[in-house]
Amino acid sequence: MRSARDIIIRPIVSEKSMREAEIGKYIFEVDKTANKIEIKQAVEEIFKVKVKSVNTMTIPGKMKRVRFQAGKTPDWKKAVVTLVKGHKIELFEGA
């Protein structure tokens, strides 16, 4: 059994994610192998809130070049967590 801190890597803080937070949707970078049930349990455990739904997407890495060497940034997984009305995560407030 993995710990909740191993599943939730970091919150995504951007202009779009701040607008989404106002309506109860929070965006996190999560472990690539985590499923929706594990993500829901991890968010509920860490932030002590009630999760309504979880949507996930795998973001492909971008091609990058350093001088003549081509490479690729790693793929990562993003989760959009919708909370039950009345619950909110204080981490996103005032960011």
User: What CATH number did the domain enclosing 60 receive?
Assistant: 3.30.70.330
For the stretch 58-78, pLDDT in tens is 999 999 999 999 999 999 999
Q: Please give the residue range of the domain that contains residue 12.
A: 4-85
Tell me how far apart the alpha carbons of residues 79 and 59 are, in angstroms, rounded to a whole number: 10
Asked whether residue 18 is assigned to any structural domain, the reply reads yes
Asked whether residue 93 is assigned to any structural domain, the reply reads no
Q: What is the pLDDT of residue 70?
A: 96
Neighbours of 85 (CB within 10 A): 10
| pLDDT, mean over the chain | 94
Residue 95 scores a pLDDT above 60? no
For the stretch 21-45, pLDDT in tens is 999 999 999 999 999 999 999 999 9
pTM of the predicted model over 0.85: yes
